[in-house]
Structure 1
Amino acid sequence: MTDSTIIYTHTDEAPALATYSFLPVVQAYASTAGVQVETRDISLAGRIIASFPERLEEGQRIEDALAELGELAKTPGANIIKLPNISASIPQLKAAIAELQAQGYALPDYPDDPQTDEDKDVRARYDKVKGSAVNPVLREGNSDRRAPGSVKNYAKTHPHRMGAWSADSKTNVATMGENDFRSTEKSTVIAADGALRIELVAEDGTTTVLREKVPVLAGEVVDASVMRVAALREFLAAQVARAKAEDVLFSVHLKATMMKVSDPIVFGHVVRAFFPQTFAKYGEVLVAAGLSPNDGLGTILNGLDNVPHLGAEIKASFEAELADGPALAMVDSDKGITNLHVPSDVIVDASMPAMIRTSGHMWGPDGNEADTLAVLPDSSYSGVYQAVIEDCRAHGAFDPATMGSVPNVGLMAQKAEEYGSHDKTFEIAAAGTVRLVDAEGNVVLEQAVQPGDIFRACQTKDLPIQDWVKLAVTRARATGDPAVFWLDESRAHDAVLIEKVKAYLPQHDTTGLQIEIKSPVEATKFSLERIRRGENAISVTGNVLRDYLTDLFPILELGTSAKMLSVVPLMAGGGLFETGAGGSAPKHVQQLVKENYLRWDSLGEFFALAASFEHLAQSTGNARAKVLADTLDRATGTFLNEDKSPSRRLGGIDNRGSHFYLAMYWAQELAKQTEDAELAQAFAGLAKALTEQEQTIVAELVAVQGSPVELGGYYQPDPAKAAAVMRPSATFNEALADLG
């Protein structure tokens, strides 16, 4: 790998399939500037395979690409384009393992209840793969996410549909507010480098070490909080009753993918709360059958056929409580898939904005939209969504044609805050006290706990905080927009961060800038007032709010979060360029397999690629990389104006057609640019060929639609089959091969 190398990640599902079509374009164009574009497999399947080399045949083994890229991200020469990954829930992880086993990989099963040392080792390896395994490793910098000007202008001239809001809408957010992670949080600043031990001191005096060593650095912020299970159960039971009394849909919104320890447990409690009689009567039978509510209602129902004698009876009990309870929000009402079927189906950062955009409605079991009680148990960020709902109830839906924008500067480097808590989150086995103890035996933080409580410790290092403040000032200076730190002085962690922000802001020139600190609810109200006037406001937030807001505002502004420019200026000087927050789109893969039609929109990849070329030009002095960046920006503008994103139905262009049009517009821009005559000449022939053969190529791309395709795997497709499916135009392929 050289300084003129871009790493393009191979990930999962729809983005991975799109890569088979788009990457050949990227590599061909980049080669004209002496830029190599290499791939690294950080897909869920790839991460699983890399975890068990000793169990596999030599030809099956692969390097740990994620670990390699994690080290690369700490170097000045890093230039990584990162596509969306599956943040695997346990059901997804198990499905991927089963598929790989069927493909001939001698992988062990996922041990639900590890007893032997071998099982514990296997479980530990798989636990490193599930959930948000990728992002914390690569994000050695803070986040700069915003809507590119071309996308914002397109949204204003072609506004997407927004559902109307009624002043008497009964949609609301329900949250605990006490005995949850936010309200119990304790926070401190570490005085010196060292390590902490996390231990449970039970009431009987026995001590269990939960984690032997948590390295810490001077100046970093460490938090400890607990979700009290008794209060959680009481709260959830009350919300089920409230939804029925108010005649609204019941829904729960968690992040059981990224928060891979805590949120699946909370999800399981929600399932229990909705079916209290069934679990009271049959809970032990379900446990004995290996059926956990943490995995979702769907897994339980699918497994009841294997419960001797009682399977039908238990299923009937579930159905009776489902009929007797409040109407349950649906993922797919046609197929009977409820909000509680799969923990990874309803992800808060995507589901809440979609609900707000759709008149505050979700889909009910009758196939119709309805007002909804959105249950967000932890109160850390729930007030943001309630504030937006109340604003819409008072002022109506937002207008994409006139509304402003809320870009984000997010604190996420080095596993900051909750998203780095997985290895420090535990379901407590016995009553007592969880303590964080330093090397001298001093108790740094502690929490009283009861059996079943969820304890969580988080870390936020000081250098990322300093870099975050610097990035906020940089963006405020570049745009002239106000920058607001979304921090609540009444929350323990935020109070510590406020002191650090106040200490680090004077290190920068803030003359003439509007930089404020507001609680998340007040910051939401401030931002909503501005965007309704067509003005902008930069949100400067912690890690989770970064994730939530960069879905919330883009979905309202643009109709999707996949069209965001997401740049991570790495602290060592390199660059990580993410391709939007659009998820990995399993439904798109299902449609491709059924109809040979891929609706995935690669616009985020176009933006990330341009930013990657721009960074490479600046860091290496490669003038041609700058020409590639500038012409790609112009080509993307044409792409948007000509509306060449995938159409909504068969017969129009899909993802592959989008790639062709981007390649054509890009070649045309390169052929007519005047900065580099030799480069213009190199693309003249390709631009001419693609322009003249446009109709032929589009016809070839459309002709394959309508019939099923075979990919050879869902989590790990066969590369030859996937390439054949995603590159069906011989004319386009030949023209591209002739470049240069």
Structure 2
Amino acid sequence: MTDSTIIYTQTDEAPALATYSFLPVVQAYARAAGVGVESRDISLAGRIIAAFPEYLDPGLRIGDALAELGELAQRPEANIIKLPNISASVPQLKAAVAELQAQGYALPDYPDDPKTDEEREVGARYDKVKGSAVNPVLREGNSDRRAPASVKSYARNHPHTMGTWEPYSKTNVATMGVDDFRSTEKSAVVAADDALRIELVGDDGTTTVLRESVPVKAGEVVDASVMRVAALREFLQRQVARAKDEGVLFSVHLKATMMKVSDPIIFGHVVRAFFPKTFAAHGDALAAAGLTPNDGLGGILKGIEALPEGAAIKASIEAELAEGPALAMVDSDRGITNLHVPSDVIVDASMPALIRTSGHMWGPDGQEADTLAVLPDSSYAGIYQAVLDDCRANGAFDPATMGTVPNVGLMAQKAEEYGSHDKTFEIPVTGQVRVVDSAGLVVLTQAVGAGDIFRMCQTKDAPIRDWVKLAVTRARATGDPAVFWLDATRAHDAQLIEKVRAYLPEHDTEGLTIEIMAPVDAMAYSLERIRRGENTISVTGNVLRDYLTDLFPIMELGTSAKMLSVVPLMNGGGLFETGAGGSAPKHVQQLVKENYLRWDSLGEFLALAVSFEQYAKVTGNAGAQVLADTLDRATATFLNENKSPSRRVGGIDNRGSHFYLALYWAQELARQSDDAELAQKFAALAETLTAQEQTISDELIGVQGTPVEIGGYYRPDPAKAAAVMRPSKTFNEALAVLD
């Protein structure tokens, strides 16, 4: 890799398959302008392989691309296009390991209960791979996420469907409000650079070091909170009964992929609460067999097949399913419930889908129904209830007239909850967890009981300063109000409010509207404005960034994949993210079954254009700016001509959308006047693609409808995947002329 290179990441599932089709186009067009585009494998499978080099034959070893890009992200020349990747839950991690082992990689098994030093060391390596392992490494800047004007215009002119809302809808959010992370949170600002220690002082007099060293910097905000398990269990039991009494579906909405320690544990408590008789009678047998509710009902149902008492356990589960409230379903046809897999129902994707669909989820009968959405921790649950109440009162939003809510998100350097994984613990004994500085002084303390979940979070001062600066920059650029979603009654937010008020005067805010509001109030304010067609910049912390950049785009555009996501890196480089990957697994299933990939690469098109702009700015390569400008115009044509993937076999799929983008881009390059040499290079290609449009379209559509083999879900065979994703001989030969 040279200093003048764009890195296009290889990730997972549908985005990875789309890359086999689109990256050859990108590289061919970029080469013509003297721009280098290289690929780096940061997929789940790639990260697993890189973590265990000594276990593998030399020919199967690969370098640690994520670590390489983490270092690059701290340099001013960084230019990284990041596609969505799997934030692996334990079941996904195990499935990926099993697939790789079947492909000849001699990887160790994931140790559920490590007992030896070797097993603990293996487990520690896998722990670095699972969950959101990629984003905290690459996100060395804060987030600027918005709908480009061309995308918003298209959505208004071609509004997607929204479900009808009725004032008598019984859909609601249930949350704890007490004894959860939000209500127990304590916060402090570190005075000087230091290293903190997290220790558990048991009531029995023992002291256990949970984390030996947590480096902190002066001005850093540190938080400690606890989810009290007794209160959680009681709350969940009440919600199961409430859903039954109200005749609505029961569902739970967590983030088990990002909150990879806490949320699988909470998910396990939900499973226990829904099946109390089963666990009372058979809990010991399940535990002895290594079957944990933390992995979901699906893992239990599969695992009990081999147990002597398996039939009795299955009968008990089926009886409680019949007795309890109807469960929301992930796939009614296949019997996959909301409780089957912790990573199946992710709050930031599932709640907007519920809101868009009349407040409904799918029931066991295959029909939509009102739902009790259980979000145990109350930190952000209120924003969703505010949207539900607004829809009940005012009806569904109208994509043809509604405004937009872009986001400036605080996420640099593992800010807030999403950086808490290595500081989150399930507490074994009653006592106190203390956060102690190097002088032995207690910074934060929490009383805990056995089974409670303790979490410590960090937010460094430099990212907060940069976040405030970015908020003012976006407000100045757009003229729209900017609202910091911060709650003065929450310990962490109170610290941030002080810092925001201290740092805002460092910038020119004259004539700008900049407010600080509690999240529920900010949501109500933003909803009122978007119903009037007005725009409001949301300025939020890391988790709300994630939630809102799915919620509003899904309401406005029908998907969060069409957002422009720019991360101006704090040291001067750029990270360009390409959209959400929540529906990617279903897309892969459809490809294998029907040779049809529905993945929409618009996010890649948008990210690529701003990546070329960054490249031109850093290197002075005028051709890169021409690529950016012409790609913008081509994308607008692409949208206006409605060449995005359709939903069914027989229409344009992902591969067809790439062809049409390439066609419109070549046409724009051929007729641009800023670079005559580049225009000449693309004139012949534009002529060929235009003349062969029908032939290429027929070749791309003609392969659809039959199953295909790609050689693996987590690590497809490159030759097989390329053959499937590049089936048009005519298109491939036309591109080759550029070389």
Length-normalised TM-score, structure 2? 1.00
User: 2:685 matched to which residue of 1?
Assistant: 686
Give CA-to-partner distance per residue, 1:423-443, whole Å, 9 cap, x none.
000000000000001111000
Residues 15 and 584 of structure 1 are in contact (CA less than 8 Å); yes or no, is this contact kept in structure 2? no
Counterpart of 1:540 in structure 2 is: 539
| SS of structure 2 residue aligned to 1:335 | coil
Match of 1:207 in 2: 207
> Which residue number in structure 2 is paired with residue 494 of structure 1?
493
Q: Quote how far apart the aligned CAs of 1:695 are.
A: 0.2
Could you list the per-position Cα deviations for residues 347-386 of structure 1 after superposition, in whole angstroms to 9, with x for gaps in the alignment? 0000000000000000011111000000000000000000
Kept in 2: contact 1:165–1:360 (CA 8 A): yes
Number of aligned residue pairs: give it.
Answer: 739
Answer whether contact 1:550 1:581 (CA < 8 A) is retained: no
Q: Equivalent residue for 1:667? A: 666
Q: Identify the residue that residue 558 of structure 1 maps to in structure 2.
A: 557
Query: 2:611 aligns to what?
Result: 612
Q: Which residue of 1 aligns with 2:504?
A: 505
**Mapped pair 1:582 → 2:593:** no
CA distance in structure 1 between the partners assigned to 2:61 and 2:217 by the alignment: 36
Matched to 1:421, the amino acid is: S
Instruction: Return 329-338 or 582-591, whichever deviates more.
Output: 582-591
Return the alpha-carbon distance in structure 1 between the equivalents of residues 713 and 581 of structure 2. 19
The letter of the residue matching 1:59 is: G
Secondary structure in 2 aligned to 1:165? coil
1:148 match: 148
Q: Any idea what the Cα deviations from partners look like across 1:579-613, whole Å, max 9, x if unmatched?
A: 01233601111111111110000000000000100
For the residue of structure 2 that corresponds to 1:68, the secondary structure is helix
- State how 1:190-589 maps to structure 2 within 5 Å: 190-308=190-308, 310-583=309-582, 585-589=584-588
1:689-715: CA deviation from partner (whole Å, max 9, x where unpaired): 000000000011111111111111110
Counterpart CA distance in 2 for 1:420 and 1:649 is 39
Distance across 1 between alignment mates of 2:10 and 2:290: 34
Number of the residue aligned with 1:645: 644
Give the aligned partner of residue 126 of structure 1: 126
Task: Report how far residue 33 of structure 1 moved.
Answer: 1.5
Asked if the contact 1:85/1:584 (under 8 Å) is kept, the reply is no
Distance 1:274 1:456 in 2: 25
Q: Which amino acid aligns with 1:156?
A: R
Partner amino acid, structure 2, of 1:285:
A
> CA–CA distance in 2 between the matches of 1:221 and 1:472?
20
Amino acid at match of 1:94: K
Do the aligned partners of residues 134 and 584 (structure 1) sit closer, same or farther apart at CA in structure 2, a change above 3 Å counting?
farther
- How far 1:306 moved relative to its partner? 1.0
**Cα distance in 1, alignment partners of residues 654 and 365 from structure 2:** 33
Please give the per-residue CA displacement for 1:128-158, whole angstroms capped at 9, x wherever unaligned: 0000000000000000000011110010000
Alignment of 1:64-143 (within 5 A): 64-143=64-143
Residue 17 (str. 1) matches residue 38 (str. 2): no
**Counterparts of 1:715 and 1:441 in 2: how far apart (Å)?**
46
Q: State the partner residue of 1:189.
A: 189
**Alignment partner of 2:333: what SS?**
helix
- Tell me if structure 2 keeps the 8 A contact 1:80–1:577: yes
Looking at structure 2, the residues matched to 451 and 721 of structure 1 have their Cα atoms a distance apart, in angstroms, of 51
The answer as to whether partners of 2:291 and 2:303 remain within 8 angstroms in 1 is yes
Aligned to 1:55: 55
For the residue of structure 2 that corresponds to 1:226, the secondary structure is: strand
CA–CA distance in structure 2, aligned partners of residues 582 and 62 of structure 1 = 25
Deviates further, 580-589 or 670-679: 580-589
Cα pair 2:560 2:579 within 8 Å, conserved: yes
AA in 2 matched with 1:128: K
**Post-superposition shift, 1:4?**
2.3
**Quick check: 1:12–1:584 contact (8 Å CA) kept in 2?**
no
Q: CA deviation at 1:622?
A: 1.1
Give 1:391's aligned amino acid.
D
Distance in 2 (CA, whole Å) between partners of 1:305 and 1:251 is 26
Q: Which amino acid aligns with 2:9?
A: T
Q: Confirm or deny: 8 A CA contact 1:189 1:220 kept in the other structure.
A: yes
Query: Is the contact made by 2:15 and 2:581 (CA closer than 8 Å) also made in structure 1?
Result: no
Q: What is the rounded CA distance, in whole Å, between the counterparts of 1:384 and 1:619 in structure 2?
A: 40
What amino acid sits opposite 1:293 in the alignment?
P
Residue 335 of structure 1 and its aligned partner are, at CA, apart by: 0.7
Output one character per residue of 1:404-440: Cα deviation in whole Å (capped at 9) or x when no partner: 0000000000000000000000000000000001111
Name the CA distance, whole Å, in 2 between partners of 1:15 and 1:584. Answer: 10
Distance in structure 2 (CA, Å) of the matches to 1:553 and 1:342: 26
User: Distance in 1 between the 2:205 and 2:337 partners?
Assistant: 44
Residues of 1 paired with 2:342 and 2:36: CA distance?
Answer: 40
Provide the secondary structure at the position in 2 that maps to 1:199.
Answer: strand
C-alpha contact 1:488 1:519 (8 A) present in aligned 2: yes
Using structure 1 for the length normalisation, give the TM-score. Answer: 1.00
- Cα pair 1:387 1:524 within 8 Å, conserved: yes
8 Å contact kept, 1:86–1:583: no
Structure 1: distance between partners of 2:706 and 2:64: 36
CA contact (8 A) 1:84 1:584 kept: no
Q: What is the CA–CA distance in structure 2 between the aligned matches of 1:56 and 1:446, rounded to whole Å?
A: 44
Distance in 1, matches of 2:647 and 2:574, equals: 34
After superposition, the C-alpha distances for 1:605-636 in whole angstroms (9 at most, x for unaligned) are 00000010011111221111000000000000
Mapped to 2, the partners of 1:337 and 1:649 lie a distance apart of: 23
Conserved? CA contact 2:21–2:725, under 8 Å: yes
SS in 2 for 1:400: coil
- Structure 2 distance, partners of 1:430, 1:107, is 34
**Aligned amino acid, residue 478 of structure 2:** T
- On the 8 A contact 2:425/2:454 being kept in 1, the answer is yes
Structural RMSD (CA): 0.6
Give the secondary structure class of the aligned counterpart of 1:566.
strand
Alpha-carbon displacement from aligned partner over 1:276-332 (angstroms, at most 9, x marks no partner): 010011000000011100000000001111112x10000000000000000110001
- State the one-letter code of the partner of 1:725: V
Q: In 2, are the aligned partners of 1:81 and 1:577 still within 8 Å (CA)? A: yes
Q: CA deviation at 1:394?
A: 0.2
Q: SS of the counterpart of 1:259?
A: coil
Once residues 71 and 543 of structure 2 are traced to their aligned partners in structure 1, the CA distance between those partners, rounded to angstroms, is 24
Q: 2-side partners of 1:24 and 1:336: how far apart? A: 40
C-alpha separation in 1, matches of 2:249 and 2:409: 33
CA distance in 2: counterparts of 1:512 and 1:32, whole angstroms = 45
Amino acid at match of 1:44: L
Assess, with a 3 A threshold, how the Cα gap between structure 1 residues 68 and 584 changes in structure 2: closer, same or farther: farther
1:24-71 per-residue CA deviation (whole Å, 9 max, x = no partner) reads 000000011211100100000000000000110000100000000000
Supply the distance in 1 between the matched residues of 2:421 and 2:375 (Cα, whole angstroms): 19
Q: What do the CA deviations read for 1:67-88 (whole angstroms, capped 9, x no partner)?
A: 0000000000000000000000
Structure 2 unaligned segments of length 5 or more: list them. Answer: none
The one-letter amino acid paired with 2:187 is: S
Contact 2:433 2:448 in 1 (8 A): yes
Please give the alpha-carbon distance, in whole angstroms, between the structure 2 residues aligned to 1:691 and 1:661. Answer: 10
Contact 1:85 1:583 in 2 (8 A): no
SS of residue in 2 equivalent to 1:114 = coil
Quick one: distance in 2 between partners of 1:582 and 1:147?
A: 17
Output the CA distance in 2 between the equivalents of 1:482 and 1:647.
Answer: 36
| Of 582-591 and 423-432, the range deviating more from structure 2 | 582-591
**SS of equivalent residue, structure 1 residue 580:** coil
Q: Is the 8 A contact 2:85 2:581 kept in 1?
A: no
CA distance in structure 1 between the partners assigned to 2:169 and 2:705 by the alignment: 41
